[in-house]
Amino acid sequence: MSKDSQKSRGIVSWPEDERPRERLLSRGPQALTDAELIAILIRVGYRGTNAVELGRQVLKRFGSLHALVEAPVLALLDVKGLKGAKAAQLIAATEITRRVAVPTARSILQIKSTSAAAEYLRERLRGLSDEHFRVLYLNRRSALLDDALIAQGAVDTVRPPLRSIIARALQVNASALIAAHNHPSGAAEPSESDRLLTRDLIATCQPIGIHVLDHLILTEQAHYSFADSGLLDELTLQVTG
């Protein structure tokens, strides 16, 4: 069957041994191309274009599966024919890929340094087009108890509610926390609002015995640590002084 005739015909009309789903089940996923794997996720194409051809268009748009996983949701929704359930299925699959890259054995995962926190958080915050504010909650042995997305939104507008941060800390019985957010602009430097937020977080946590260990700002290539820079100590003195 020619490529042009396949493009215009639905996959159900193909010979059974050429259909991606049947080939996956009989020969394994390694037998399929990247476009065919995407086709299985999105299931159908759009008028005049079947799911495999749509998969090729998606790959052409982003360049690779790796770039597809890192693409923001709005970029996926901008692809012709990738709407509704098809977009939701593909977005869910890319999020599963993100989460698989993050350690799951939190009871034994210890975060004892800025580099360890940054490495862990980079997998959670990479490739995002908007700002996400996360908090890692730790016990006295620096074991990770919880990893919570507290707020997200447009760049420079995210203001996580301190009440939510504290409520989660009390819920998991945390003794310390590390705050973090991404800067999609690529500049790993704290803004004035970042400084004020960190100061307010320290002031809120201190009376109830929760230690703010750090506030990290991450970009694709770098990170900024309030603790390593000395800014955390400076803000703590402002609160206690």
CATH number at residue 67: 1.10.150
Task: Select from 53, 70, 100 the last residue of a domain.
Answer: 100
Q: Which amino acid is at 8?
A: S
Band of residue 78 on the pLDDT scale cut at 50, 70, 90: confident
Domain that holds residue 131: 114-240
The predicted pLDDT at position 107 comes to 47
Q: Is residue 16 part of a domain?
A: yes
Provide the residue type at 104 as one letter: T
- Give me the sheet containing 131-138, strands edge to edge: 144-153, 131-138, 176-182, 211-218, 223-225
When pLDDT is averaged across residues 213-236 and rounded to a whole number, the result is 95
**70 and 127, same domain (yes or no):** no
Residue after which a domain boundary falls, among 66, 100, 134: 100
Q: Are residues 203 and 96 in the same domain?
A: no
User: pLDDT (tens digit, 9 = 90+) per residue, 30-69?
Assistant: 888 999 999 999 988 898 899 999 999 999 988 888 778 8
- Of the candidates 74, 100, 126, which is a domain's last residue? 100
Q: Is position 209 within any domain?
A: yes
Shared domain for 74 and 10, answered yes or no, is yes
Looking up residue 133, the CATH number of its domain turns out to be 3.40.140.10
d(CA 46, CA 129): 27
**113 token code pair:** 């340094």
142 found inside a domain? yes
Assigned domain for 134 exists: yes
Statement to judge: residues 173 and 88 lie in one domain = no
Q: Domain for residue 216, yes or no?
A: yes
What is the total count of domains within the chain?
Answer: 2
Residue 12 vs residue 146, higher pLDDT? 146
Q: Is the pLDDT of residue 197 over 90?
A: yes
Specify if 171 maps to a domain. Answer: yes
* Percentage above 90 pLDDT, the chain: 48
Shared domain for 236 and 118, answered yes or no, is: yes
Complete DSSP assignment for the chain: --HHHHHHS-GGGS-GGGSHHHHHHHH-GGGS-HHHHHHHHH---BTTB-HHHHHHHHHHHHSSHHHHHHS-HHHHHTSTT--HHHHHHHHHHHHHHHHHTS---TTT-B--SHHHHHHHHHHHHTT-SSEEEEEEEE-TT-BEEEEEEEEEESTTT----HHHHHHHHHHTT-SEEEEEEE-TTS-----HHHHHHHHHHHHHHGGGT-EEEEEEEE-SS-EEEHHHHTHHHHHHHHHH-
Q: Give a yes or no: residue 109 inside a domain.
A: no
